Amino acid sequence: MKMMNTKNLWKGLLVLVLGLAMTACQKDENDPLKIISTQEVVRDGQVIVEASYRNDLKKMYFILVSPNTAVVTRATDFNPELVNRQYYGKEVIPAEFTHLGQTYSVVGIKSEAFWGCNKLTSIVLPNTVTKIGNYAFFGCTELSSVTLSESLEEIEYDAFHGCGNLASIDLPASIKWIEVHAFDECALLTSMTCRAVTPPSFALVEWDYLLSRLQEIKVPQASVEAYKTAWGWTQFADIIVGF
């Protein structure tokens, strides 16, 4: 009887350990990165921070734009010789990070920050980000999953140009402006959700490209008619539906 109880005890402990391990793996996969060290350089009057995480195997780069805010940038801004260092896999950008005792809120994605990162598959932006710069994700050919900030107001030109694996995009209620060619050459982009109650403005030439690809645009039910009659959006009237 004692041997049986001991065996069951060890089995129970094994199940518990495996469960905790799986939870830890899920947390590592879906939670923002945990930065373990930082260092900085000053170039052209800008302070650029290299942040190391995941046991120093991955790094992210930030430009400090004010005493308490920062934007994500590329490795070559930190060191021009890091031409082969790219973001890859799933990147979960933190809402804030601490460097030399000061906490910085991440408020934007700098122009060209993820340019040509063709091994980037998924990006999650924190709700502190209000702007995505031009060419930010240009040529990220394997990018198939994008989670935008709930505070995002502006997507600049060519931001997602050439993201050929991106099949859908969910624009937050805060979005106000989408610049020219923001989703150009996104060959699989057939579905769009726009949560803004007031139809956001956009550059019409951008949407000329999407016209032959988009199959459905979901908008707030109470705003369907507003979208169908708004400048530019009228060309999509037949595929605008409420949610």
Which domains does the chain carry?
31-188 (3.80.10.10)
Tokens of 177: 């402006």
For the segment 29-46, the average pLDDT, to the nearest whole number, is 83
Give pLDDT tens digits for 41-58. Answer: 999 999 999 999 866 678
Give pLDDT tens digits for 129-178. Answer: 999 999 999 999 999 999 999 999 999 999 999 999 999 999 999 999 99
For the segment 180-185, the average pLDDT, to the nearest whole number, is 88
For the segment 182-188, the average pLDDT, to the nearest whole number, is 90
Residue 154 has a pLDDT of: 97
Separation of alpha carbons 37 and 64, rounded Å = 16
Tokens of 119: 């091994």
Whether the pLDDT of residue 202 is over 90: the answer is no
Residue 6 has a pLDDT of: 58
Q: Which residues pair with 178 in a beta bridge?
A: 155, 202
Closest CA to 191 of 171, 209, 215, 173: 215
Position with higher pLDDT, 30 vs 160: 160
Give pLDDT tens digits for 84-143. Answer: 999 999 999 999 999 999 999 999 999 999 999 999 999 999 999 999 999 999 999 999
Give pLDDT tens digits for 55-100. Answer: 667 899 999 999 999 999 999 999 999 999 999 999 999 999 999 9
Residue 17 has a pLDDT of: 47
Give every CB contact of residue 2 below 8 A, 6+ residues apart in sequence: none
pTM to 2 decimal places: 0.84
Give pLDDT tens digits for 11-25. Answer: 555 545 445 444 444
Separation of alpha carbons 46 and 69, rounded Å = 13
Separation of alpha carbons 113 and 77, rounded Å = 9
The region of weakest confidence among 33-37, 124-128, 143-147, 232-236 is 33-37
Whether the pLDDT of residue 180 is over 70: the answer is yes
